[in-house]
Each structure stands twice: as structure tokens, then as C-alpha cells.
């Protein structure tokens, strides 16, 4: 077996080791390369910035622990921004497996920003039905969520004063890791109940949401860890996303180098096989 053939059949544990080191080393020794802010992320930031104090901001945390590394930093940044702007925050999740995590992040950021449950924010929890929950909230928010996550009746909560349905929400952001997520919030929510909508998603999902972004159906998109890092920079509170960008840089570069190498070996072994074929003929 020639060198190129041996390289093409390299033990995958070596690749695992390379990726592992590329993730670990930058986390231990961060470089802190500058991160450019994209228009998509700025769209969400600018809209929240433009909202007056006391405006209603709905955050739907539609993800489970599998997407935590990408969407958790996004939710922290968005909540910090909303609380800093003194917006009234209504949080919920359409993913049952993400309920506990969503509650923790909302409570943790609210505590950090000195906000009061029921007055400054409310976590509605999860309700079955997926997209039906969105329509139901659009018709009657109290029908969809008669009580919040802690069992307190939603009717009469100061944070929901003047909010009857999704029509009364000033801005909504869905952080989605799949379905139901950003697309469903547009199709079943924003399209009918006419509120402004922004999105956040995992890196792999972002290209699929660009048509919504380009047509103005969503006014901004926070894509993956990169989007979260950009948002952390915009609100001037660097966190886990910025810290993870060096690791992501190194792994991306490692994969690119691996792909280039495999193609070089592939073409070299193909041309050798062709030459051997001609010599044989």
C-alpha cells in the first residue's frame, strides 16, 4: 500500500485526536481574535435597542440540552439586553425537554439583573400542542397559559398588563433548534398576528432561515455560536460564546486542512492508478 493510500485510510482516532486538541487548546489558551458583527445579528440588536422602556418582549426558547452550547449563550445575551432596556419579558418554550433549562436561564439572568418575577418577567413554561400553542397565544394568551411555570395565574400579573394576545407583543424572538422553531413562529404567529419577529438558531440551521431574513419576514438572525459571540460583543458582555470562538476557529481550520489533504491524496492516488493502467496497456 502506497503512502497516499495509507493516508486516505488513516485511522479515524487520529482525526478525533486532532479535533479534540483543536477544541481543547484554544479553550485553555484563548487568543481572542476580533469578531466582525454581521447585519443579521445587528438586526435583532437594533430592534431591541429601538424598543421603549416597558415594551413587551417575548422570548421563545425552543431548544433542548443538545443545542445548549450554541443557544444558551444566545438566550443569556438576549435576556441581559432586554432586562437592561427594562423591557417586560415573557419567556416560554415549545420544547418539553428544554423546560427546566429555559427556567434556569431566565431565572438566573433575571436574578443577576435584579428583576422581579411576575413584575418584570414571567416564565410561562411549556404547553402541549407545538404550533397550536402559537395560534392559541395569538388568539388568547391566557387561554394558552392560564398559569405560569410556578403555577401562579397569569391573569393579573403586572408584567402582562395590557397583553391579551400575541398582537400586543412588541417584539418576539424564537431561539430554535428545529421544529417548532423560528419558521413556525413566522408561519403561525407573525404572519397572522402582525408582531415583529427575530430569530436565533444553531449553526447548521442558519442557512435554511436566510430566505425568511432576506424577505423581511424576520428582521434579524443570530446563527450558532458565532451569532451568540457577536451578540455578546454588541451588549459588551463577553461570555461563553466569545470564549468558544477560538476553539471553533481552530476546528474549522483543522477540518479545512483535512479536506484539502484528503483531496490531494485522492488525486495523487488516482493519477498513479491511471499511469499504472496506461503502463499495463
Partner 1 sequence: MIFLRRQVPLLITLITGLVFAGQYYVPHPASEQMLTSVTKWLQIIGGFALVLGVSSLFHVHAVKIRRKEAGWGYSFVLYVGMLGTIAVGLWANGKEAVDGAMTAFGWVYNFMMVPLQSTMFAILAFFIASAAYRSFRARSREAAVLLIAAVIVMMGRVPLGEYLIPLSGDLSQWILNVLNASVRRAILIGVSLGTVALSIKIIFGMERSYLGGGKE
Footprint of partner 1 (CB under 8 A): 10, 12, 15-16, 18-20, 23, 33-36, 38, 64-69, 96-97, 100-101, 103-104, 127-130, 132-133, 135-136, 139-140, 143-144, 192, 203, 206-208, 210-211, 213-215, 224, 226, 245-246, 248-256, 258-263, 266-267
Task: Name the grid cell of 96.
Answer: 418539553
Taking the complex as a whole, how short is the minimal distance between the CB of residue 281 and partner 1, in angstroms? Answer: 23
CB-count burial class (<10 Å; 0-12, 13-18, 19+) for 237 = middle
Q: Decide whether 161 or 164 has the Cβ nearer to partner 1.
A: 164
Taking the complex as a whole, how short is the minimal distance between the CB of residue 186 and partner 1, in angstroms? Answer: 12
Q: Decide whether 158 or 208 has the Cβ nearer to partner 1.
A: 208
Q: Decide whether 41 or 79 has the Cβ nearer to partner 1.
A: 41
Taking the complex as a whole, how short is the minimal distance between the CB of residue 78 and partner 1, in angstroms? Answer: 20
Taking the complex as a whole, how short is the minimal distance between the CB of residue 227 and partner 1, in angstroms? Answer: 10
CA distances from 25 to 20, 106, 164, 210, 257 (A): 9, 31, 51, 33, 17
Closest CA to 85 of 119, 120, 117: 120
Q: Decide whether 104 or 271 has the Cβ nearer to partner 1.
A: 104
Q: Decide whether 54 or 208 has the Cβ nearer to partner 1.
A: 208
Taking the complex as a whole, how short is the minimal distance between the CB of residue 50 and partner 1, in angstroms? Answer: 23
Q: Decide whether 15 or 54 has the Cβ nearer to partner 1.
A: 15
Closest CA to 44 of 199, 193, 169: 199
Taking the complex as a whole, how short is the minimal distance between the CB of residue 174 and partner 1, in angstroms? Answer: 18
Amino acid at each position: 500500500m502506497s503512502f497516499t493510500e495509507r493516508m486516505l485510510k488513516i485511522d479515524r482516532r487520529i482525526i478525533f485526536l486532532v479535533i479534540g486538541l483543536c477544541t481543547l487548546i484554544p479553550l485553555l489558551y484563548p487568543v481572542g481574535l476580533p469578531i466582525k458583527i454581521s447585519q443579521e445579528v445587528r438586526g435583532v440588536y437594533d430592534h431591541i435597542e429601538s424598543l421603549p422602556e416597558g415594551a413587551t418582549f417575548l422570548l421563545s426558547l425552543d431548544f433542548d440540552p443538545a443545542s445548549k452550547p450554541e443557544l444558551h449563550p444566545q438566550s443569556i445575551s438576549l435576556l441581559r439586553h432586554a432586562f437592561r432596556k427594562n423591557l417586560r419579558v415573557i419567556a416560554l418554550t415549545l420544547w418539553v425537554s428544554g423546560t427546566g433549562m429555559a427556567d434556569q436561564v431566565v431565572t438566573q439572568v433575571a436574578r443577576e439583573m435584579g428583576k422581579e418575577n411576575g413584575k418584570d418577567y414571567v416564565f410561562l413554561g411549556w404547553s402541549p400542542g407545538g404550533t397550536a400553542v402559537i395560534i392559541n397565544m395569538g388568539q388568547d394568551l391566557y387561554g394558552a397559559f392560564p398559569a405560569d411555570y410556578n403555577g401562579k395565574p397569569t391573569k393579573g400579573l403586572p408584567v402582562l398588563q395590557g397583553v391579551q394576545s400575541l398582537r400586543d407583543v412588541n417584539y418576539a424572538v424564537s431561539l430554535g433548534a428545529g421544529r417548532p422553531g423560528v419558521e413556525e413562529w413566522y408561519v403561525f404567529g407573525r404572519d397572522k398576528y402582525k408582531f415583529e419577529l427575530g430569530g436565533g438558531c444553531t449553526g447548521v440551521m442558519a442557512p435554511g432561515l436566510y430566505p425568511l431574513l432576506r424577505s423581511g419576514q424576520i428582521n434579524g438572525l443570530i446563527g450558532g455560536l458565532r451569532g451568540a459571540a457577536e451578540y455578546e460583543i454588541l451588549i459588551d458582555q463577553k461570555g461563553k460564546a466569545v470564549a468558544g470562538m477560538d476553539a471553533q476557529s481552530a476546528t474549522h481550520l483543522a477540518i479545512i486542512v483535512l479536506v484539502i489533504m484528503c483531496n490531494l491524496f485522492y488525486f495523487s492516488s488516482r493519477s498513479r492508478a491511471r499511469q499504472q493502467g496506461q503502463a499495463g496497456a
